[in-house]
Amino acid sequence: MIIIPARLNSSRFQNKILADILGLPMVIRTAKQVSSLDEVTIATDSQDVISLAKEHGINAIMTSSAHQSGTDRINEAAKKLNLKDDDIVINVQADEPFIETEVIEAVINRVKKVKEYNEDIMIVSCHKKISSELADDPNHVKVLLNGKGNATYFSRSKIPYHRDHYEESTYHGHLGIYGFTAKSLDEFCKLPSAMTEHIEKLEQLRAIYHEKKIAMVEVESKSFGIDTEEDLRNALKIFTK
């Protein structure tokens, strides 16, 4: 099950999930982009989004407006959908209308391996190599990996810091796609919040703080989350060529 958390209000880009993307509202374009991979449900706090989803033949569920994170929102949706503990749940952000299906598929396949081998992994996510210049942008989250390919930290800062300032240095840019089982999703949402997640505004740091493992898959992707109106203009330039 792919669940798209769709909170209507956004501090940096008002009602961004309704912004027009090639003739469709952003959240609808995102849902259609990934619909070939699995069932899709939009989890929202807006009756307008519910109505839009119905108009386009996409399942949508009303969730609480009090959620502090998209993961809490999809957890409520998973419970309302009566998903089983071992059902795979993929969190795709509503602001990823150009995400490649291969990226989502890579996360799904890694969650399947976690289940098959009963690995001690709470979350699966993904990353791509980005340039030093792109890593300077705090809107592009960076991730540090250990020798097993698991995340050790996520930051909006440029990490790791290259003391000798190699211009050709590459960084691991995080893509906000998350894979769980319904059980591990619920376990994550029950963890106490962490100071670091509030400082960086990155909820996945809650898992790191509590020493839970996040397996990372390297992917190739041109897509990026649309956080601002400038992001939207840039995305349309790139993906409508």
Write out 169-202 in H/E/C secondary structure. Answer: CEEEEEEEEEEEEHHHHHHHHHCCCCHHHHHHCC
Could you tell me whether strands 123-131 and 24-25 are parallel, antiparallel, or unpaired per DSSP bridges? unpaired
pLDDT in tens, the chain (241 residues): 999 999 877 666 678 888 888 899 999 999 999 999 999 999 999 999 999 999 999 999 999 999 988 999 999 999 999 999 999 999 999 999 999 999 999 999 999 999 999 999 999 999 999 998 889 999 889 999 999 999 999 999 999 988 776 666 789 999 999 999 999 999 999 999 999 999 999 999 999 999 999 999 999 998 877 877 787 788 777 777 6
Number of domains composing the chain: 1
User: How do residues 153-163 score in pLDDT, each as one tens digit?
Assistant: 999 999 998 87
The answer to whether the CB of 225 falls within 8 A of the CB of 97 is no
User: How do residues 51-102 score in pLDDT, each as one tens digit?
Assistant: 999 999 999 999 999 998 899 999 999 999 999 999 999 999 999 999 999 9
Model's pTM, two decimal places? 0.92
Please confirm whether the linkage preceding 160 is cis (ω < 30° from 0): yes
DSSP state letters, 129-147: EEEHHHHT-TTS-EEEE-T
The answer to whether the CB of 27 falls within 8 A of the CB of 6 is yes
CA angle 39, 43, 48 (to 5 degrees): 115
Range of the domain at 84: 2-239
- The pLDDT of residue 234 is 81
CATH number at residue 59: 3.90.550.10
- The pLDDT of residue 72 is 95
